[in-house]
A = this chain, B = another copy of it.
Amino acid sequence: MIRLHVAAEIAQDVALGLDHGQSHYLTSVMRRAVGDEVLVFNGRDGEWRATIEVAGKRGVILRPTVQERPQAFGPDLDLVIALVKRSRVETIVEKAAELGARRVRLVVTERTNAERTRIDRLSAIAAEAAEQTGRLDVPEIVEPVKLAKLIEGWDASRRLLFCDEAGDAKPVLAALDGAPPAPWAILIGPEGGFSPAEREALRNLPYATPATLGPRILRADTAAISALTLWQAAQGDWRSLEVS
């Protein structure tokens, strides 16, 4: 069944108007009509089954009928990525949504060629991926800041998995073995890596755990997906029931 993320409140029998884009998608692209059902979620009220009540020129109106799942969130995991090529940032945002990150923060580093980012576009990609992947919330996309400023404002109770290509850090699974539970963040550098000064600063943070991602050089999108996967498998909601 089609799943749609909406901004508005969802409550039983309270009419829910869709915006132009979603109305068009539902009726013209997916050919749904009055009486058909969809699933809706907004990150607050859980997932609801809703019936198309009006499908006209002025858009679609839904009528939520039954809550299918109460609101729930995955583990408290942020992904922090250096700004890379726009297409790779977009891939990373899509994958972060599939892999259960709660936020994606963008960071400007010394070796970043900061292309302009459109947060609204990245948020739309995150929402669409959340619709497809079945989660009940949408990752928040946070405006880019410089690395120094990110560190300055860091909440030290959030551990930082610092994916460090250079040096002698342990592999991610070994680095996370016995580590404290969430909240965590994963930090992925630009494709040229962090500068020596940045690495030094990151390694000295008391809340940082450096880790490596294997013996080959990875593109930023691959590194992000691999690190999210390993964190979920070791610390997050991919763990086996026996382990958790």
Contact = CB atoms under 8 A, between A and B. Distances in A.
Interface of A: 95, 98-100, 132-135, 170-174, 213-219, 222, 225-226, 229-230, 232-234, 237-240, 242-243
A132 B225 contact: no
A172 B99 CA distance: 15
A100 B214 contact: yes
Contact of A133 (B171, B174, B216, B237): B216
A222 B224 CA distance: 11
Contacts of A242: 174
Contacts of A226: 99, 225-226, 229
B99 A222 contact: yes
A170 to B, nearest CB: 6
Contacts of A95: 222, 225
Contacts of A214: 99-100, 232-233, 237-238
Contacts of A232: 214
Nearest to A218: B98
Contact of A219 (B98, B172, B174, B229): B98
Contacts of A99: 214, 216, 218, 222, 226
Given A99-B214, A173-B173, A215-B237, 12 more contacts: A98-B216, A99-B226, A133-B216, A134-B216, A134-B217, A135-B216, A171-B240, A172-B233, A214-B238, A215-B238, A229-B230, A230-B233
A182 to B, nearest CB: 15
A153 B59 CA distance: 54
Nearest to A233: B173
A229 to B, nearest CB: 4
21 contacts: A98-B217, A98-B218, A98-B219, A98-B222, A99-B216, A100-B216, A132-B219, A133-B218, A171-B233, A171-B238, A172-B233, A173-B173, A173-B234, A173-B238, A173-B239, A213-B238, A214-B232, A215-B237, A222-B225, A229-B229, A229-B230
